[in-house]
């Protein structure tokens, strides 16, 4: 369809804003989060908090979310919010501090493999909660929560956030080892610190939290979404264009930048924006990993980019065991992609000798053809739009609400970059 050119400004991280909304529940006064994206997950989380008794005001155009937590009346999140996103389980700790008894429905989110609650439950139990899983969700109660020494079997972002959100008001000291240190986790810790929490990040992935008696509300301006920034940069490369991305600092994209550099891309980087271009791109071998490794949420745009490189590339996914449901549609569009259950292109990961198809081999360049596609999840959906932008002929994408749940007004942004895109049927809820 032609090269994509132009400017995109990304707002705050989708993976951070809803966690800040949960953190606001811990305060004795209102909190305000700024630079928020206009995404479906904010409204889902806001409705969840309102069901508990919070007052939540969302200014989608201004990018502001305001949470007043002092009118919480219940510790039960309605079952109707089950399966919509991953937020309910993060509410357990904050609601235990407020109500003593909690029910949250089972988590949802993208279909990218199992998201077991074991790490969350074990951490909550170590801090004094009684927890059980029912057919509908998770029930927990506690007379009081205390500090504990916790070692996570895997540096899970969600489990680390559960510990942070619970330990800040627990009595005594909590040490969490092998924790996630993604920028969004650090940003949550800093927000909690603004609220009055005593949190320290030690070497070797250790958080040390000294519980305090009370927290106050705080204000925070979210840092730019590194997933969205990388995705738009790659959209320019895939279509042999050039997209200039504003709103996301270079420091949040270090691993992504170095990966694209190795493939032959040229960067322009200032304090205000980043842009990337290339005459041709070399193949690469990339392994996803926890931070500071190559982010798992970057892999679907990268696989689409591999289809336009000269030669054979490999993507080894080590974080989620079912992250490739989007590949079938790329194959329909003409991409040469094969999936394997072996650990290709890196050391053996935790999916070694399982049946999980977690390595992709991509041969390029491929002449992609437009197709009718059903979007499986947020990140795969963005990859489809990039592939459709590079394809010959029109494409029809179904279930674009997945895309709009995780990206700030993506259809408008692509239209501004020169992609002819129109919606058929009803508008997805915001």
Question: Which tens digits make up the pLDDT trace of 282-320?
Answer: 999 999 999 999 999 999 999 999 999 999 999 999 998
Contacts of 408 (CB under 8 A, 6+ apart): 10, 11, 37, 38, 39, 225, 228
What pLDDT, on the 0 to 100 scale, is given for residue 26? 98
At 310 the three-state DSSP class reads: coil
What pLDDT, on the 0 to 100 scale, is given for residue 425? 59
CA distance 81 to 109: 11
pLDDT tens for 3-50 read: 999 999 999 998 899 999 999 999 999 999 999 999 989 999 999 999
Mean pLDDT across the chain, nearest whole number?
92
CA distance 303 to 385: 13
Question: Which ranges in the chain are annotated with CATH 3.65.10.10?
Answer: 14-221, 225-416
What is the mean pLDDT of the segment spanning 132-137? 90
Tokens of 422: 């129109």
Task: Say if residue 107's pLDDT is above 80.
Answer: no
Q: What is the CATH number of domain 225-416?
A: 3.65.10.10
Radius of gyration, alpha carbons of the chain: 21
CA distance 56 to 295: 31
**Beta-sheet strands, E only, within 288-341:** 311-316, 336-340
- Per-residue b/e over 224-236, b at no fewer than 16 CB within 10 Å? bbbbbbbbbbbbb
What pLDDT, on the 0 to 100 scale, is given for residue 400? 81
Residues labelled catalytic? 110
What pLDDT, on the 0 to 100 scale, is given for residue 346? 81
Confidence of residue 429 (pLDDT cuts 50, 70, 90): very low
What pLDDT, on the 0 to 100 scale, is given for residue 108? 54
Closest CA to 326 of 350, 351, 360, 353: 360
pLDDT tens for 229-242 read: 999 999 999 999 99
Give the DSSP H/E element, type plus range, for residue 33: strand 31-34
Task: Say if residue 345's pLDDT is above 90.
Answer: no
Measured CA to CA in angstroms, residue 92 lies from 74, 145, 199 at distances of: 12, 12, 20
Contact 327, 360 (CB under 8 A): yes
What pLDDT, on the 0 to 100 scale, is given for residue 114? 43
What pLDDT, on the 0 to 100 scale, is given for residue 327? 94
Confidence of residue 428 (pLDDT cuts 50, 70, 90): very low
Q: Where are the alpha helices (DSSP H) in 137-253?
A: 157-167, 183-194, 226-238
Task: Say if residue 115's pLDDT is above 60.
Answer: no
Measured CA to CA in angstroms, residue 193 lies from 23, 206, 289 at distances of: 11, 16, 27
Contact 98, 49 (CB under 8 A): no
What pLDDT, on the 0 to 100 scale, is given for residue 110? 40
Place of tokens 């304090």: 271
Please identify, in words, the CATH class of the domain defined by 14-221. Answer: alpha beta
DSSP 8-state class, residue 247: S
Q: What pTM was computed for the model?
A: 0.92
Confidence of residue 109 (pLDDT cuts 50, 70, 90): very low
Contact 321, 356 (CB under 8 A): yes
pLDDT tens for 355-376 read: 999 999 999 999 999 999 888 7
What is the mean pLDDT of the segment spanning 258-268? 97
Confidence of residue 116 (pLDDT cuts 50, 70, 90): low
Number of C-beta neighbours around residue 183 at 10 A: 19
């Amino acid at each position: 369809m032609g090269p994509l050119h132009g400017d995109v400004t990304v707002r705050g991280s989708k993976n951070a804003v809803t966690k800040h909304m949960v953190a606001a529940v811990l305060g004795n006064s209102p909190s305000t989060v700024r630079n928020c994206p206009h995404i479906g997950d904010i409204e889902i989380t806001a409705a969840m908090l309102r069901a508990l008794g919070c007052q939540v005001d969302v200014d989608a155009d201004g990018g502001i979310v305001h949470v007043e937590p002092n009118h919480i009346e219940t510790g039960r999140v309605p079952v109707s919010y089950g399966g919509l996103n991953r937020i309910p389980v993060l509410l357990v700790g904050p609601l235990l501090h407020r109500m003593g008894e909690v029910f949250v429905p089972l988590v949802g989110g993208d279909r990218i493999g199992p998201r077991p609650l074991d790490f969350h439950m074990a951490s909550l139990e170590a801090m004094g909660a009684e927890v059980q899983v029912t057919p509908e969700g998770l029930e927990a109660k506690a007379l009081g929560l205390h500090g504990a020494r916790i070692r996570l079997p895997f540096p899970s972002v969600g489990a680390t956030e559960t510990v942070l959100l619970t330990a800040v008001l627990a009595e005594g000291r909590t040490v969490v080892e092998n924790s996630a240190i993604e920028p969004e986790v650090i940003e949550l810790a800093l927000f909690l610190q603004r609220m009055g929490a005593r949190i320290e990040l030690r070497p070797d992935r250790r958080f040390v939290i000294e519980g305090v008696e009370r927290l106050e509300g705080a204000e925070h301006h979210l840092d730019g979404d590194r997933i969205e920034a990388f995705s738009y940069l790659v959209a320019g490369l895939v279509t042999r264009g050039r997209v200039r991305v504003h709103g996301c600092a270079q420091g949040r994209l270090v691993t992504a930048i170095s990966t694209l550099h190795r493939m032959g891309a040229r960067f322009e980087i200032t304090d205000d924006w980043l842009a990337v271009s290339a005459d041709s791109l070399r193949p690469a071998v990339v392994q996803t990993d926890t931070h500071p490794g190559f982010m798992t949420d970057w892999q679907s745009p990268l696989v689409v980019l591999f289809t336009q490189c000269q030669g054979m590339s490999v993507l080894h996914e080590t974080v989620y065991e079912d992250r490739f449901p989007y590949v079938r549609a790329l194959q329909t569009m003409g991409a040469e992609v094969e999936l394997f259950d072996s650990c290709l292109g890196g050391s053996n990961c935790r999916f070694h000798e399982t049946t999980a198809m977690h390595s992709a081999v991509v041969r390029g360049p491929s002449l992609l053809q437009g197709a009718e596609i059903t979007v499986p999840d947020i990140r795969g959906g963005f990859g489809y739009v990039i592939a459709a932008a590079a394809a010959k002929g029109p494409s029809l994408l179904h279930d674009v609400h997945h895309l709009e749940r995780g990206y700030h007004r993506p259809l408008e942004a692509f239209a501004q970059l020169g992609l002819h895109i129109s919606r058929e049927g009803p508008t997805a809820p915001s």
